[in-house]
Structure 1
Amino acid sequence: MKTVLLSGVPQSLRTDAWWMDGAPAPQRAGRAREGWQLRCGLLVVLLALGDWLVWQAVPGLSLAVFALALVAAAVAMWRRRVWVLGIGAVAALPLVEVVNPLTVMIAVMGVSGALVLLVGVPRADLWRAALRLWPFGIAQGVVDAGAAFEARGADPAEVRIRRALLGWLMPLGLSGVFALLLIDANPVLLDWLSGLDRLRLPDGVRVMFWAALVPLIWTVLNAPRLRERLIARRRAPRMGPAREGLINPVSIARALVLFNALFAVQTLSDGVFLYAGIGLPEGMNHAEYAHRGAYPLVITALLAGLFGVLSGPWVQARPVLRALLIVFVVQNVGLVLSALFRLDLYVDAYGLTRLRVAAAIWMGLVAGGLALMLWQIVARRGTGWLMGRVAVMAAGVLYAVAFLNTDGLIARHNLAQDRSQSAVYLCRLGEAVIPFIAREPALCPYRPVEVKAPRDWREWGFRNHRTRRSLAAVMQTQAAP
């Protein structure tokens, strides 16, 4: 009886949503149809909203609005966990500052996290579910599309309509796409069609943009239906001290003795040449010494951290190995701090660049991760404890960096230190350096001193707004008698 009552709704589209909770079977059938129609209606609305906000507009505030609209639509659709809207707003906030690959990545991660929290995924499965959401959601959308046309209704008229759609949708749809692309590629035909005032056809690229948005929006609207697939996992065999191989108590003990000895030599060398002020060999200055060692030391610290994670299960139960590992990690923290000091010396000599700013942030992250590892060893915490906190720390740092005006920081530092040799580099940076160039017109004589304003609110960005205000203040100061 239930199959007949719900026959108008494909099996893959049925769900125990709020509109079906506690309802008798006949009402559940009607509400299932209503839920299906609601999802389709929201799909059309969000597709139109995405086209209006994003299409043919320079990415700006519109992306933040669209990201928040997706989360709001999912919350409205499923009527649960309204507080995840706050997560969506926090994730979209960096896009208000500026649109770049980092802020887009933060927005995607934030929307994914909001959706898996809306689903009710257990805390231990959040990261796995967020990574699975989009591929699983897009695949489910394809299944839903096929199921919608395969469903058999009790009404003969509905059956005829489904058969007609099934027979014509693919030929007409692909023919329309091919026609748009061919018209766009044929100047004569395109010119002829452009003369028809009443015929306004979307171009092929716009149709492909719609086609790309549809599965993403459908995934957002159907996220709760994916819960079981998002949290499903195989139980991997537990790796532990019972399985001895290249990593075993004897090899770890010998490795830690050798590693500590090698790192002690490097620490002593840095103490002599960098901190004690003892002269370097002839032909080498402190800036060159710092530059040669900064990046290799960070790579060394990363490998040492990986060794610490792999050796952790063997070390916890052996006090001597724990003591050796603690000394090793402490030396690595000192090594990273030495790399930061080297980088500071090199920046003092040659100025800031984007790569050097990124290196400083990365070194700080590595030092923080090693400090957490040290606490993990002392407090006898598990590897999962360490990985979770390192992930939270890295996410927090990346979120803060999204609001950092790197180009402005570089220009301010280099010009304050009178790094004339970095003038060519400054001239190649983004619009954030324009106010600094305006103060010294001779710095970049061939670069226009202007910052483009957004054409409308969709392209507005807070960093661009601040840069235009700074430039206006500089120009006003220079124009004053």
Structure 2
Amino acid sequence: MTAFVSAAPSYCGRFGVAVLLVVLADFLFYGQPAGITVFLFAILIAAAVVAVHPAAFSDRRLWIKPTALLVALLPLAENVSALSVSIALAALAVFALSLSGRLRHSLARISGQIALFGLAAPFRFVGDFIRWRRAARRFGRRRIRLAAIAVWVMPLTLGAVFLALFGAANPVIEYWLSLIDLLKLLDLIQITRIAFWLFVLACVWAFLRPRLPRFRQRGSRPNNPLAGAQPATNPQRHVVEDIVFGKAAILRALIVFNVLFALQTGLDATYLWGGVALPDGLSYAAYAHRGAYPLIVTALLAAGFVLAALRPGSETSGDPLIRRLVYAWVAQNIMLVISSILRLDLYVGIYALTYWRIAAFVWMGLVASGLALIIARIALGKSNEWLFSANLLTLSLTLYACCFINFAALIANYNVDHSLEMTGQGISLDAWYLRSLGPGAFPALDRFLDHQSRAANNSVFRELAGRRGSDEDWYRTVQENWRAWSFRDWRLLRYLDSKGSLVLPQPSQPSLPGR
């Protein structure tokens, strides 16, 4: 507690930096579109974190941390999305914890620290303020009391009355008072704006004073003499575990599982890879849709069983036969995931592409890589913590790469290129869904409208073309604000400028009789 009070000057300095960041956040974000300003504000937070940790300048490798942070913040410059913002927040948390000397070295433990940091961040400022008040009261430090505020109520009230009376008696004072618009002053006091300030203050304070919550571990007291006399385990329970989950049970389970999975793999090889006709009443779309997601759940359950059965150092992990059966079973699970990806690809080829189906592709790829890492963990004799860290690294790199992919344009281009109107086969394009994807779908929608203008001239097409023009006008209006700039929007604006405005075809005139 004494250290808390002795550090009051540094706390005041951090509070001043936090207030400055709140002012900048109000200028950059409140009532404004989100764009390059998010990237700039993240850089400002990082600079503030470095400024409040002067001891970090003594580290010769200090330049490595800002460089790594800048790489993590690059997705914000490409495009502001929930994913890029999440990556930036995680990177800022790691950066702040590393400068304060609280960052762990294991990737698995770092992920736990990030989760705890995110949970504690909204309450960090309130907790620090309460502790500072208690410490100040305990050690007799000066603090703001309610009585010190109350003594100003009477003077200010009577002063306002006297000022009003002087205004009625003096024309000059009355003129000065007429220049003060109280309604305008009240308009500046907005509940939503104050809430925004408090939210930003709580967020930036968590980075300026990075701390993790501490949990008390419950356990038997060391002074309890009966603690050592208690039996640690139940022998009867161990007997049951050895029978139900022992080496013999796991061996039989792996044999049964391999047979069942071989049956499923054989069916997929027959119908999906071999092209054999399905039974009557069952289409390839239905076959693909019904099997894509349940097989992923099956693979996840299989992965959990393998991790539980082949714990490092256990009797089963050292048995050669069990290890071979596990390798075969995990390999079949990887084949099931690949079959699920093929099923989903067949389904997308018939029913078009959506955000959720792209997410399913990414998820299936992560599951397949996770199964491959399980084999690597068993073969190399690594721990489950190593497996968790490897999967976390794979997930992080995948999400980071996804920040640079324009999924709206990807979906729009695929659906246009595989639509009935463009290819003569498949299903009709859901152009209104394309419009809901936002400005990223403009190029694909333009190709579709250009093709339709030569093939048809109906009211639906004209309405869609009109909406396309109004959407572009709205988008250009938003982009006039420099705060909304991003590399992705800059590239799209270059395309729009090079293409020009969309020209609607004139309605066909009915031919006159006799001509």
Cα distance in 2 between the residues matched to 1:419 and 1:370 = 38
**Are 2:26 and 1:51 equivalent residues in the alignment?**
yes
1:309 aligned residue: 307
State the Cα deviation string for residues 372-395 of structure 1 (Å, max 9, x = none).
111112222211111110010011
Paired residues of 2:285 and 2:347 also in contact (CA < 8 A): yes
Cα distance in 2 between the residues matched to 1:212 and 1:419 = 49
State the Cα deviation string for residues 353-412 of structure 1 (Å, max 9, x = none).
222211111111111111111111222221111111001001110111111111111121
State the Cα deviation string for residues 151-193 of structure 1 (Å, max 9, x = none).
559999x74xx25367649x99xxxxxxxxxxxxxxxxxxxx9
2:268 to 267, 270, 280: 270
**Are 2:467 and 1:447 equivalent residues in the alignment?**
yes
1:130 to 104, 114, 137: 114
Cα distance in 2 between the residues matched to 1:337 and 1:382 = 27
Cα distance in 1 between the residues matched to 2:81 and 2:87 = 10
1:454-473 paired onto structure 2 within 5 Å = 454-473=479-498
2:246 aligned residue: 248
Structure 1 pair 200/423, CA: closer, same or farther in 2 (3 Å)?
closer
Paired residues of 2:420 and 2:429 also in contact (CA < 8 A): yes
Deviates more, 1:437-446 or 1:386-395: 437-446
For structure 2, list consecutive stretches of 5 or more residues without a partner in the other structure: 57-61, 154-179, 220-231, 422-427, 453-460, 505-515
Cα distance in 2 between the residues matched to 1:148 and 1:166 = 19
Structure 1 pair 273/351, CA: closer, same or farther in 2 (3 Å)?
same
1:429 to 437, 441, 447: 437
Q: Secondary structure at the match of 1:51?
A: helix
Q: Secondary structure at the match of 1:422?
A: coil
Cα distance in 2 between the residues matched to 1:136 and 1:85 = 24
Alpha-carbon distance, 1:327 to partner? 0.9
1:474 aligned residue: 499
Structure 1 pair 143/440, CA: closer, same or farther in 2 (3 Å)?
closer
**Are 2:191 and 1:204 equivalent residues in the alignment?**
yes
For structure 1, list consecutive stretches of 5 or more residues without a partner in the other structure: 1-9, 15-28, 173-192
Q: Secondary structure at the match of 1:283?
A: coil
Cα distance in 1 between the residues matched to 2:412 and 2:138 = 71
Structure 1 pair 150/428, CA: closer, same or farther in 2 (3 Å)?
closer
Q: Secondary structure at the match of 2:500?
A: helix
1:299 aligned residue: 297
1:371-390 paired onto structure 2 within 5 Å = 371-390=372-391
Deviates more, 1:452-461 or 1:326-335: 452-461
Alpha-carbon distance, 1:112 to partner? 1.5
Structure 1 pair 211/198, CA: closer, same or farther in 2 (3 Å)?
closer
Structure 1 pair 166/282, CA: closer, same or farther in 2 (3 Å)?
farther
Q: Secondary structure at the match of 1:123?
A: coil
Paired residues of 2:4 and 2:135 also in contact (CA < 8 A): no
1:344-383 paired onto structure 2 within 5 Å = 344-383=345-384
Alpha-carbon distance, 1:138 to partner? 4.7
Cα distance in 2 between the residues matched to 1:154 and 1:398 = 49
Name the Cα RMSD after superposition.
3.3
Alpha-carbon distance, 1:259 to partner? 1.2
Q: Secondary structure at the match of 2:52?
A: helix
Paired residues of 1:138 and 1:215 also in contact (CA < 8 A): yes
1:6 aligned residue: none
Cα distance in 2 between the residues matched to 1:282 and 1:458 = 58
Amino acid at match of 2:2: Q
State the Cα deviation string for residues 11-46 of structure 1 (Å, max 9, x = none).
3635xxxxxxxxxxxxxx6xx454233212212211
Alpha-carbon distance, 1:419 to partner? 4.0
Q: Secondary structure at the match of 2:310?
A: helix
Alpha-carbon distance, 1:136 to partner? 3.7
Cα distance in 1 between the residues matched to 2:300 and 2:187 = 58
1:11 aligned residue: 2
Cα distance in 2 between the residues matched to 1:440 and 1:132 = 48
Cα distance in 2 between the residues matched to 1:243 and 1:54 = 63
Cα distance in 1 between the residues matched to 2:482 and 2:407 = 24
Cα distance in 1 between the residues matched to 2:68 and 2:380 = 32
The normalised TM-score by structure 1 is: 0.79
Amino acid at match of 2:430: A
Cα distance in 1 between the residues matched to 2:483 and 2:390 = 37
Structure 1 pair 466/36, CA: closer, same or farther in 2 (3 Å)?
same
After the TM superposition, list the runs of 4 or more consecutive aligned residues in structure 1 that deviate by more than 6 angstroms.
153-156, 230-235, 241-244, 476-479
How many residues were matched structurally? 425
Paired residues of 1:301 and 1:335 also in contact (CA < 8 A): yes
1:148 to 106, 118, 132: 132
Alpha-carbon distance, 1:267 to partner? 0.6
1:409-428 paired onto structure 2 within 5 Å = 409-420=410-421, 421-424=428-431, 425-428=433-436
Alpha-carbon distance, 1:260 to partner? 0.9
Cα distance in 2 between the residues matched to 1:211 and 1:284 = 58
Q: Which has the higher contact order (CA 8 A, sep 6+)?
A: 2
2:51 aligned residue: 76
Cα distance in 1 between the residues matched to 2:66 and 2:350 = 47
Alpha-carbon distance, 1:123 to partner? 1.2
The normalised TM-score by structure 2 is: 0.74
Q: Secondary structure at the match of 1:435?
A: helix
Cα distance in 2 between the residues matched to 1:382 and 1:152 = 48
State the Cα deviation string for residues 280-324 of structure 1 (Å, max 9, x = none).
112333333222212221121111112222222143122222111
Alpha-carbon distance, 1:198 to partner? 6.3
Alpha-carbon distance, 1:257 to partner? 1.5
1:218 aligned residue: 205
1:100 aligned residue: 81
Paired residues of 1:454 and 1:460 also in contact (CA < 8 A): yes
Alpha-carbon distance, 1:145 to partner? 1.4
